[in-house]
Structure 1
Amino acid sequence: MASEAVVLTVPGPHGEREIRVSSPGRVLWPALGITKGDLARYLVDVGGPFVAANGDRPVSLQRFSTDVDGEQFFSKNPPRGVPAFVRSVTVVYPSGRSHPQLVIDEPAAAVWAAQMNTIVFHPWASRAQDPDNPDQLRIDLDPQPGTDFGDAIGVAQELRAVLASAGLTAFVKTSGNRGLHIFAPISPVHEFLDVRHAVIGAARELERRLPDRVTTAWWKEERGRKIFVDYNQANRDRTMAGAYSPRALPHAPVSCPLGWDELEGASPESFTVLSVPERLATVGDPWATMHDDPGSIDVLLGWWERDVAAGLGELPFPPDFPKMPGEPPRVQPSRAKKGDGGR
């Protein structure tokens, strides 16, 4: 028996494409009854801003076997059956190995990815034509236990001021969960490690300004009730949910760009697969001008070098990274005190 399917007409820069979506009635968000077909239509509705934010970049696909509560996995290699109009680009991972990753150049590619059971899209901070040099500085503000989205708002506003003092223009979006993502467009002339050091320079300055509210401590046991500035999201092959990407949470939230004048009092629960298309139609895309005037990370790198000279050196990398020069031991401080040592 043939499986249920629909064909969606998806407008794009090269004209309309017909994308087949199988099992459109399969429920992805059980609490709301939002289906695979609804997700595909959402991606058609937000297609222009979605591609503007996530297109022309290597992208990892977070795919689900059933619904958002089911088994999930990340596709970094393009899935089988990629349409001829969807391209890929070879990227180098921290291990040194290389593999192709999908690139989304038009809304039809995103709809096809949804057909392949993708719910969350994770774009790189670099462009497909120059994957080794990011054109976005990204900072993840992650509320720790005892803090919440409201606590992150004031921190984000101060971080905006920190970046402005370094000559950078900051843009903000909800993470789709409890935190906030701050992006700044930069000229793609520095490799990932340099951009990571620039992020650490900004994070340490923010921590100095808000010592009771902000932490750069990698180990959770040292963070306390503060907002963690996750500098490791600036690493190669570290990605955040893209702008306008759905998240795999029960209320179908979207990682939604905001204007800075909207941030105070914003509620992340209100930006969902059901509400964001209407928001875009009425408010527009706050990130539409993001890359009109990219900045330089030179000032932030100067702060990094100043802090290194003052004795503040490298910070820990994620556990799957090779050991990096100058990195402190990768061991929880409480374990180190017991004499376990570090790698």
Structure 2
Amino acid sequence: MASDAVVLSVPGPEGDREVRVSSPSRVLWPDLGITKLDLANYFVAVGDAFIRANGGRPVSLQRFPEGVDGEQFFSKNPPRGAPAYVRAVDVTYPSRRVHPQLVLDEPAAAVWGVQMNTVVFHPWASRADEPDLPDELRIDLDPQPGTDFPDVVAAALALRDLLVEYGFTPFVKTSGNRGVHVFAPIRPEYEFLDVRHGVIALARELERRIPEKVTTAWWKEERGSRIFIDYNQANRDRTMAGAYSPRALARASVSTPVTWDELVTVDPAVHTVLTLPARLRTTGDPWEGLHEGEAPSIRPLLDRWEADLEAGLGELPFPPDFPKMPGEPPRVQPSRAKAK
């Protein structure tokens, strides 16, 4: 029986590569009828911008063998049979375990990821050559019940102004869902815990300025109708959907880089696997210059962190799967703690 596999020619830095896509008619997004081959062609179209934003970094693959409505799992290390142009780098996880993690260096590697039924790509904030030293400050603005997208946009604009005050050059993208991700290039000189503390310092300063709009409260019962600044996304091995990565949502939305002017009017639902290639052709990549020039240090943010410590503000909770960290408050919901 003849195979129904399709071979795609994928341009890249070493010339065209032939990437085999099996089961090309497998439907990944049932509501829209988007197939595995459609997704592979999407990455051929946006491959340069995708690799520019996510390449050369440890990355986790969120895989959906039965489509976005089916079971899913994460791959971190290269599976058997990975092509020679897909590499790995040893990284250290919060448990201190060291393990190889995938690295994508060219568009063909992203298309191969689709062949492995990957829908969402989760890159680290550090590069493969210095996996312990993030070169991106990443802030996840997470809307809470009672808030909507304009509330997130308002918080993102205030955060942009604060970052500029500290000497950073901020970039922004939609999460592909209801949130917004703000990135800024930083000098890769501090490890993840330090960068997390820098993000907390930044978040607390924003909270002081607009306390009615944003919160650093880890426990949902304390957040109210405010935008949560998810500082724990700055932790080691904590990732978010990469720029130009699809999301496993019914509308096949994409985490889309936009300009700050666009953010005010953007409708995140408009940017999907079906529409993004045309957008890139007509408007270009707003993140093309993300890592041009010399990036600043986060030292001013760490000075702010230390000043907050002296003022009595301590460590904040870590995710539940992390080992207990020095200075961390008890991992117990405040209402339960009071009940005791």
The answer to whether TM tops 0.5 is yes
User: Residues of 2 paired with 1:72 and 1:79: CA distance?
Assistant: 16
Q: What's the offset of the Cα at 1:161?
A: 0.7
Distance in 2 (CA, whole Å) between partners of 1:283 and 1:41 is 20
CA deviation map 1:5-61 (0-9, x unaligned): 100000000000000000111110011000000000000000000000000000000
Q: For 1:131-170, list aligned pairs within 5 A.
A: 131-170=131-170
User: What pairs up with 1:24-103 in 2 under 5 angstroms?
Assistant: 24-103=24-103
Q: 2:315 aligns to what? A: 314
- Residue 313 of structure 1 aligns to which amino acid in structure 2? G
CA RMSD, Structure 1 to Structure 2 (Å) = 0.7
Distance 2:73 2:145 in 1: 27
1:300 aligns with 301
How far apart are the structure 2 equivalents of 1:224 and 1:318?
A: 20
Matched with 1:335 is 336
Which residue of structure 1 aligns with residue 113 of structure 2?
113
AA of the residue aligned to 1:186: I
Counterparts of 2:33 and 2:70, CA distance in 1:
15
- Write the deviation string for residues 197-249 of structure 1: whole angstroms up to 9, x where unpaired: 00001000111111001000000010001100000000000000000000000
Return 142-151 or 121-130, whichever deviates more.
142-151
C-alpha separation in 2, matches of 1:206 and 1:3: 56
Once residues 79 and 226 of structure 2 are traced to their aligned partners in structure 1, the CA distance between those partners, rounded to angstroms, is 40
1:269-310 deviation line (CA, Å, top 9, x unaligned): 011001110000010000001111312111111111111110
Q: Which residue of 2 aligns with 1:184?
A: 184
2:129 alignment partner in structure 1:
129
SS in 2 for 1:237: coil
Query: Which consecutive segments of 4 or more residues in structure 1 shift more than 6 A?
Result: none
Q: State, as a whole percentage, how many aligned pairs show the same letter.
A: 72
Aligned length: 339
Give secondary structure in 1 for the equivalent of 2:161. Answer: helix
Whole-angstrom distance in 2 between the partners of 1:267 and 1:79:
37
SS of the residue 1:25 aligns to: coil
Name the amino acid aligned to 2:88: S
Partner residue of 1:203?
Answer: 203
Task: Report the residue type matching 1:297 in the other structure.
Answer: I
After TM superposition, give the deviation of residue 2 of structure 1 in Å: 4.3
SS of alignment partner, residue 236 of structure 1: coil
| Deviations 1:114-135 (CA, angstroms, capped at 9, x unpaired) | 0000000000000000000000
Give the Cα–Cα distance (whole angstroms) in 2 for the partners of residues 16 and 64 of structure 1: 27
Partner of 1:222: 222
* Corresponding residue of 2:246: 246
- The Cα of 1:259 is off from its aligned counterpart by 0.5
With the length of structure 2 as denominator, give the TM-score of the two structures: 0.99
Q: What displacement does 1:79 show?
A: 2.0
Aligned counterparts of 2:15 and 2:183: Cα–Cα separation in 1: 31
- The offset of 1:176, in angstroms, is 0.6
Deviations 1:151-180 (A, max 9, x none): 100100000011111111100000011000
- Residue identity matched to 2:206: L
The amino acid that maps onto 1:262 is: E
Give the AA of the match of 2:314: G
Deviation for aligned residue 1:80:
2.1
Counterpart-to-counterpart distance in 2, 1:80 and 1:235: 29
Alpha-carbon shift at residue 65 of structure 1 (Å): 2.0
> Distance between the aligned counterparts of 1:257 and 1:163, measured in 2?
18
Distance 2:206 2:256 in 1: 24
DSSP 3-state at the match of 1:290:
coil
* CA distance in structure 1 between the aligned counterparts of 2:148 and 2:26, rounded to whole angstroms: 33
The alignment's TM-score, normalised by the length of structure 1, stands at 0.98
- Identify the residue that residue 20 of structure 1 maps to in structure 2: 20
Distance 2:203 2:2 in 1: 55
Which residue pairs with 2:279 in the alignment? 279
Amino acid paired to 2:268? P
Gaps spanning 5+ residues in structure 2: where? none
Alpha-carbon separation, structure 2, partners of 1:181 and 1:79:
30
Partner in structure 1 of residue 104 of structure 2: 104
